[in-house]
């Protein structure tokens, strides 16, 4: 039970998802997005479907990819994912009747030689390039596709716009589709090679506040069809919608200011701490990295 999506924009690509997992009567939360370095670039992924099988598949495929030559990265990724899907899902005796077995990936691939980020998606044993600019997977994909499609009539120009559109879509899907929920995860992979796991708090708050704007916009659209409505009454609906837009903007600016103050506060607190690069060095943690299992699982 998932909603995950990929969006391309002028300067790179964005992966996003919810964090809710459901198994039987239990509900838990965890990451559905990850990334890892590969020869000649970086690979990001978002997954939907059977989480245990998908996690195992990306771990095994990433091992193959890390040993590949840069020009063979995508080929090795496709072969690794195909082999695991055949072994785990298609070889299962109930694969034609058990809907809990399948899983899907959306892949972002940044090439260092071309300074470009591409998007791909899996469907059973296949890996295909995405040319529409976006893709959605999981139980919430139909509503997510409906919400994202208008933004790609002309395309998304900036990263900031891509983040807002993704957050808005996730909020609407989590609010409307059973099985989707939790916080939002957003991974940005830019064409210049930088990447970032974006703090979703201000984006989630913005999406929540935008619900009132949606409601008032719908009311205005309905009011426009009422012949018995006076001009003054119709103008009142317009003013309500304008006030909703001002509220959304004010809430966004306030949340951004609070975030900036927290960052500055902790930066000042950290100024007196020792340099973390000095002293004993320890291996980088792999906690939360779905592509890199602990040593005992290797």
pLDDT on residue 291: 57
Specify the pTM.
Answer: 0.81
Of residues 272 and 39, more confidence is placed in 39
The count of residues in the chain is 298
By C-alpha distance, which of 160, 248, 177 is closest to 208?
A: 248
User: What six digits make up the tokens of 253?
Assistant: 């600016």
pLDDT on residue 155: 86
269 CB-near residues (< 8 Å, 6+ apart): none
User: Over 90: is that where the pLDDT of 60 sits?
Assistant: yes
Of residues 258 and 154, more confidence is placed in 154
Confidence band for 281, pLDDT divided at 50, 70 and 90: very low
pLDDT on residue 203: 84
Q: Give the model confidence (pLDDT) of 2-33 as tens digits.
A: 999 999 999 999 999 999 998 778 889 999 99
Q: Give the model confidence (pLDDT) of 94-137 as tens digits.
A: 999 999 999 999 999 999 999 999 999 999 999 999 998 999 99
Contact of 48 with 137, CB cutoff 8 Å? yes
User: Per-residue pLDDT averaged across 229-238, rounded?
Assistant: 93
N- to C-terminal Cα separation, the chain:
28
DSSP per position, 109-134: EEETTTTEEEEEEEETTEEEE--SSE
User: Per-residue pLDDT averaged across 40-55, rounded?
Assistant: 96
pLDDT on residue 298: 42
CA distance 180 to 20: 6
CA distance 235 to 230: 9
Q: How far is CA 281 from CA 37, 227, 275, 276, 284, in A?
A: 20, 74, 12, 9, 9
In the chain, which residue ranges form alpha helices assigned H by DSSP?
51-66, 73-85, 141-148, 159-176, 201-223, 231-270
Helices and strands in the chain: count of H runs, count of E runs: 6, 12
């Amino acid at each position: 039970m998932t909603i995950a999506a990929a969006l391309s924009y002028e300067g790179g690509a964005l992966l996003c998802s919810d964090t809710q997992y459901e198994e039987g009567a239990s509900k838990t939360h965890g990451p559905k997005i990850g990334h890892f370095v590969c020869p000649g670039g970086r690979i990001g992924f978002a997954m939907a479907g059977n989480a245990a099988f998908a996690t195992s598949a990306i771990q095994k495929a990433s091992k193959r990819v890390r040993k590949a030559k840069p020009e063979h990265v995508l080929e090795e990724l496709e072969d690794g994912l195909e082999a695991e899907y055949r072994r785990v899902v298609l070889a299962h005796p109930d694969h034609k009747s058990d809907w809990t077995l399948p899983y899907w990936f959306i892949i972002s691939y940044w090439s260092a030689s071309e300074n470009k980020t591409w998007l791909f998606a899996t469907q059973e044993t296949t890996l295909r390039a995405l040319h529409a600019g976006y893709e959605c997977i999981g139980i919430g994909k139909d509503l997510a596709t409906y919400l994202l499609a208008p933004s790609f009539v002309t395309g998304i120009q900036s990263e900031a716009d891509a983040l807002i559109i993704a957050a808005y879509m996730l909020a609407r899907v989590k609010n409307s589709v059973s099985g989707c929920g939790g916080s939002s995860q957003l991974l940005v992979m830019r064409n210049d090679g930088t990447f970032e796991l974006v703090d979703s708090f201000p984006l989630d708050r913005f999406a929540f506040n935008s619900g009132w704007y949606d409601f008032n916009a719908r009311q205005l659209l309905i009011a426009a069809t009422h012949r018995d409505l006076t001009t003054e009454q119709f103008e009142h609906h317009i003013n309500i919608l304008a006030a909703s837009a001002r509220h959304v903007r004010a809430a966004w600016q306030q949340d951004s200011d609070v975030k900036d103050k927290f960052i500055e506060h902790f930066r000042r607190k950290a100024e007196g701490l020792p340099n973390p690069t000095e002293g004993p060095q320890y291996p980088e943690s792999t906690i939360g990295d779905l592509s890199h299992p602990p040593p005992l699982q290797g």
